[in-house]
Amino acid sequence: MKKEMIYVLGSVGVLIVIFMIVMFFKVTDSKIYSAVQDAVSESLLDPGSAQFSKLKIVDRSNEGKSSNMKVCGYVNSKNSFGGYTGNKGFYAFVYINGANISVGKNPTIESDWLTKGMFEQTCNY
């Protein structure tokens, strides 16, 4: 009876470990959002002050293990005077290959009428 219990507990333990490994390598929307937030923050004057809202994925296309998409949202961060600028729209291109997430260089952050128009057209806000 004790050997059977040990086998059952061992089997359950192995299944839990396998499940955790699969979930670690699975690309989720929250992992995508986190990668985009890191990329957008890097382009700001004060990366640590970035506050994100209304993140969403648009134009997702899947091709086997690869995916391409755009992620849109708003970011509010501090300017050179230490005050917050107010929400600025942004979008970034995201490429996924297997479990690897890469964000295109230089996410577009709304800064003038042209980038505002590009943001509105791309993200449908």
Tens digits of residue pLDDT in 69-105: 999 999 999 999 999 999 999 999 999 998 899 999 8
Please say if the pLDDT value at position 43 is more than 80.
Answer: yes
The fraction of the chain above a pLDDT of 90, given in percent, is 52
Please give the Cα distance from 40 to 35 (Å, whole number).
9
Token pair of 5 as six digits: 């219990």
- Distance between CA 5 and CA 90 in Å, rounded? 55
**Amino acid symbol at 122:** T
